[in-house]
Structures are given as C-alpha cells and as structure tokens.
Amino acid sequence: PTSALVDYCSGIWDTIFNQKDLNIPNQKYMLAVLRCNEIKNEILNLNASSINDLNILTHNRLIDDYKKSVMKIYDNSINYYLKNCKDYQKEVFEDIFKDLDTQLRRIFFPSFTNQINRILPTSLKFFIKDLEKDIEKKSVDFQIIATNIKKKHLEILKLKILEIRIWEEWEIQISEFEEQFDNLIENEKSRYIKKMIDENTKILENLIQENFADIINKTNSVNIWLDFNITTTEILISKLRPLYIDLSNFNIDINILKEMFFELESNVFISTSNFLNKKCGDPSNTAIDYFKKKFNYDADGHPRAWKNIQEEQIEDIFKTIRKEGENLITNLSNIKLINCPIKECK
C-alpha cells in the first residue's frame, strides 16, 4: 500500500541523514548523491570569497603568479573533495567530481580573461611603438610593414596568453584581437599622413617665401609678380608630385587623397597670401630694405669699399638703386598670387 512506501522512503532518508549503517545498494547510492553534493557545494561556498578576491585582483592588475594562485584554490578544493568523498559509491563519486572540476574551471575563467585584458594594452603599446619606429624609416611600405609587425605582435600576445592558460578548454582565438591592432594601424596611418602633410606644407611655405626674397633681390622685372607665380607653381609641382606618390602607397581612397591635396594647396595659398599682404601691403618697407642691401653691398654680397669708389660712381649707384626701389614699390603694389590647380601638380 501507499502508506507502506512512504514509511519505507522515510526510513531510508532517516538512515542517510543520521549516517547509520546501510545494507542495501539503493541506500548507499542515495547517501553518496546526498553527501558528495553537500561536500561539493560546501567547497564552492568556502572558496567563493577567495575566488571573488582573485577576480578583483586580476581585473586591477597583471599577477606574476596567476597560475599558482588559481591552482592553489583548485588543488585545495579537489583534495578536500577526494578526502571526504572517496569512500562513497564510486560511480556517484566520479560523476560529482567531474561536475565539481567543470564548475571550478568555469568559475576561474573570468579571472583568466581579466589577465588577458591586462596583457593586451601592453601588447598594443609595444606594437604601436615598433610600428612608429619602422614607419619613420620607410613610409612607402606602410601596409607591408604594418601587417608584418601586427603578425609578430599577435604571435607574442598568443604566447603570453598561453603562458597563463591553465586548461586547454580555456580557448581564446587570437583573431579576436586583430580588430584592435587594425584600429591602431589606421590611427597610425592617419597620424603619419597628417605629419607628412604638415611637414610638406611648412616646407612649401618656406620655399615660396625664400623664392619671393630671391626674386626681390635678383630681379627688377616689371613682371615680378608673374615671375613669382611661375616659380611658385614650379615649387608646388616639384614637391607635390613625389608627395602624391608617397601617399598613394598608403592605399588611400583616390577622392580622399584629392581632398588632402586640395586642403594642402589651399593652406599654402592662404599662408602665402598672408605673407604677401604683409610684405606688399606697405611696399615701402620692403623697398627700403632692398635699397639698403643693394646700396651697402656689391653684386657678390660683399660690403662696398666706399673709400675706393669715386663720388660720381657713388651717385650713379645711388640713382640706379633708387630707381630699382621705385620700380619695386610699383611691382609690389600690383603683385598677386595665382592659385595653382591641383591637377597640374600630379
């Protein structure tokens, strides 16, 4: 009858809970299930605080003895289970042992990923350092250099991760980190391209200003402004063409590349216009400087030896240079900068 079954089951559990002698297989099996699970849960509860502390520590910094720290908790847990459960039914003992082992490995996995997240920034730091160093040496092979350095540092990262990995089922695909390396490559590419653009902009501005000074000092042509624009265009073409070739090696979209050159030329044009406005806005100052230089120094740039020059010659020199100065004022008043179409500079 049903009441007899209830009494039978109640008797079995009373025997199990009071750990009395068992005399049937079912009673031994049920006791093993109960006690092995109790001990497993006891182990997990006892180590919960230590595991939580480990997770916090591994999140905050890289631990030199990470594997040792994990294995200390793990070994103590396993040994405690073995010591207290080894005498229970073998099948149950082994099944719950596997369950405990699996749970522990899963519980420790977050600390492993924490350590990877501490290793990664250092790996990225050394990667970008090597990339910057090699790019400075030879920018024309940017993509090849970047790919090779990325491959090298991904392999180093993989080895570092394997050094702290404890169990093989802790699988990490190194390709998961490629995107972060690729983002740094793009950032470095943008930084280096900007550096090239800025450096060439400054070079062009200086060359154009030096060109202006040379024209002022060497010629008195009525077409001084035209001479200036012709030589300025020649400077732009000579510098922008090789720059265009160099930047083409960075696999930049052609439309973006064109925009870069439009902006570069525009910046050079604006800075040169400001320079000319300053020099030509009040041409008398430039003319005075020109007169002083030409009057006090000969054609070779040496100071004039006035005591060896006849008075009539001095007067002729004065008149000639004054006339050149007057013409220079006229030329400077009419000078303007003709923008160089970028398509002519490719």
Name residue, tokens 């350095």: 149
Res. 229 pLDDT band, cuts 50 70 90? confident
| Residue 93, C-beta contacts closer than 8 angstroms, at least 6 positions apart | 32, 36, 85, 86
Hey, which residues does 297 pair with through a beta bridge?
303
pLDDT at position 290, please? 67
Give pLDDT tens digits for 237-282.
888 888 888 887 777 888 888 888 888 888 888 888 787 777 666 6
- Give residue 326's identity as a one-letter amino acid code: E
pLDDT of 62 higher than 90: yes
pLDDT-above-70 percentage for the chain: 79
**Which string of DSSP letters, residue by residue, matches 133-163?**
HHHHH-GGGHHHHHHHHHHHHHHHHHHHHHH
pLDDT-above-90 percentage for the chain: 39
Alpha carbons 155 and 222: distance in angstroms, whole number: 67
Res. 2 pLDDT band, cuts 50 70 90? very low
pLDDT at position 261, please? 83
Calculate mean pLDDT across residues 209-236: 74
Res. 344 pLDDT band, cuts 50 70 90? very low
Give pLDDT tens digits for 44-54.
999 999 999 99
**What Cα–Cα distance (Å) separates residue 343 from each residue in 137, 193, 339, 340?**
30, 20, 12, 9
pTM comes to: 0.64
**What Cα–Cα distance (Å) separates residue 316 from each residue in 207, 219, 311, 319?**
34, 18, 9, 5
**Which string of DSSP letters, residue by residue, matches 252-263?**
--HHHHHHHHHH
